[in-house]
Amino acid sequence: MTSSSESTAPFESVDEVVEALREQGYIADTRLATTVFLLTRLDKPLLLEGPAGVGKTELAKMLALATGRRLLRLQCYEGQDETKALYEWDYGKQLMYTQILREKIGQVVEDAPDLGAAVDRIGQNESVFFSERFLAPRPLLEAIRSEEPVVLLIDEVDRADEALEAVLLETLGEFQISIPEVGTFVATQRPYVLLTSNNTRDLAAALKRRCLHLFLDYPAAERELEIVRSKKTGLSDALAEELVNVVRGLRELELRKAPSISETIDWARTLAVLGVEELNAQILSDTVSVVVKYDKDVTKALEALPRLVDPNGEIEEHGHGHGHGHGHGHGHEDEPDGSAIRSAKDTAGRHGDGVYGTPAYAKGTEKDTAAKVRNVTAGQGSRSFGLGRKRAL
């Protein structure tokens, strides 16, 4: 048995990983790239955990492309039994052979004195029908048996039952599969194995122990923007940047299903198709169903969008004396210190401030605020953000 030796390692450095994935259209940060680098150097599977739509499955696909390996995918689901993961006997083929060979089989049992003896005779020839020829390999066996090195993706492993997890454990620990009737297959070319989990349940500690582990969260604003850009959505960079910030704001809302990267991309495409030249609460509200898919989430999102698209919209208006103060007058002063909470949450970076909006501004009625925001461009908004803070205090 050989393992992925130094000479066949596809990447010389973490930077090379970043570059190779980027060439395939996958934007990885250093933490992710480092883990991938280790995956290619240590004979360990990689377990990727994190919310849906953050690029777990995509990473396996892109790693396969970047390394020129074939991708084998085991999609896990509830009630899946191990035959769908390891191998099955090709019953149809076995049946076909017995039909064609009926005469021959007839000869084997011809002179058997009774039924018991005939069954014994057939039994003696059983191995003919339970041989590699009649084996239908499923992804795990295929990955182990493959002569060419492959990438094995075990997708959404948290959906599988624990019994299957145990089977995985065995396979991934030894990189071998035993078939009683045939023998043991040992990987000649170790696959790169990636397991993904959306965290719908805890995985067995034993499985985690055997794997490199990475929690893949929603990306930093810069990286998400880079991803959106790389998808050539047709939306201008400036609008894409604003949009990413709005989506990040939506993620703060504790929605049942927070918008993922794919939804940001879809939203950008949608807005581009509509020929949008300026983001405002109206257009975002009209298209919000692209990113939030549950009724209650939509309600929350619609409420929040006006302040997310431009946290300072009303400051500008205030300054210009448009007289809209009534919309949020009630309870405004009682709000917790929004800016303090925000600064505590914000991480450094050019998208830091303003991403989460200011709770105080959310008090305005939807219609009221939406109307106001439309008059103010986001550029103006961010320039006057300092003012906004003072106002909020």
Ligand X SMILES: Nc1ncnc2c1ncn2[C@@H]1O[C@H](COP(=O)(O)OP(=O)(O)O)[C@@H](O)[C@H]1O
Binding region for ligand X (CB under 6 A): 25-28, 52-58, 196, 227, 261-262, 265
Q: How buried is 256 (Cβ within 10 angstroms: 0-12 exposed, 13-18 middle, 19+ buried)? A: exposed
Binds 58: which of Mg ion, ligand X, none (CB < 5-8 Å by kind): ligand X
Q: Which is nearer to Mg ion, 261 or 370 (CB)?
A: 261
Residues in the interface with Mg ion (CB under 5 A) total: 1
Q: How far is the CB of 73 from Mg ion (least distance, A)?
A: 10
* Under rule CB under 5 A, residue 260 binds Mg ion: no
Identify the residue among 4, 35, 57, 146 touching Mg ion (CB under 5 A). Answer: 57
Instruction: Please state the closest distance from residue 137 (CB atom) to Mg ion, in A.
Output: 23
Nearer to ligand X, 263 or 297 (CB): 263
Separation CA 70–CA 360 (nearest Å): 53
176-179 and 183-186: which strand pairing?
Answer: antiparallel
Q: What share of the chain is helix, strand, coil (3-state, %, to 5)?
A: 55, 10, 35
Q: Which residue is nearest to ligand X (CB)?
A: 55
- The minimum distance between CB 218 and ligand X, in angstroms, equals 10
**Minimum distance of ligand X from residue 231's CB (angstroms):** 7
Residues between 195 and 224 that touch Mg ion (CB under 5 A): none
- Decide whether 57 or 285 has the Cβ nearer to Mg ion: 57
- In the complex with Mg ion, the residue whose CB is nearer, 195 or 291, is 195
Least Å from the CB of residue 265 to ligand X: 6
Long-range CB pairs of 178-186 (<8 Å, 24+ gap) are 179/87, 179/135, 181/127, 181/130, 181/131, 182/130, 182/131, 182/132, 182/135, 185/141, 185/144, 185/145, 186/1, 186/144
Residue 196 or 245 with smaller CB distance to ligand X: 196
Say whether 9 sits in a helix, a strand or coil. Answer: coil
Q: Kindly indicate which of the ranges 13-21, 53-61, 170-178, 248-256 contains the residues binding Mg ion, using the contact rule CB under 5 A.
A: 53-61
Nearest CB to ligand X, comparing residues 66 and 371: 66
Q: Output the smallest distance, CB 196 to Mg ion, in A.
A: 6
Give the separation between CA 179 and CA 198, rounded to whole angstroms: 31
Task: Give the C-alpha separation, 239 to 267, whole Å.
Answer: 11
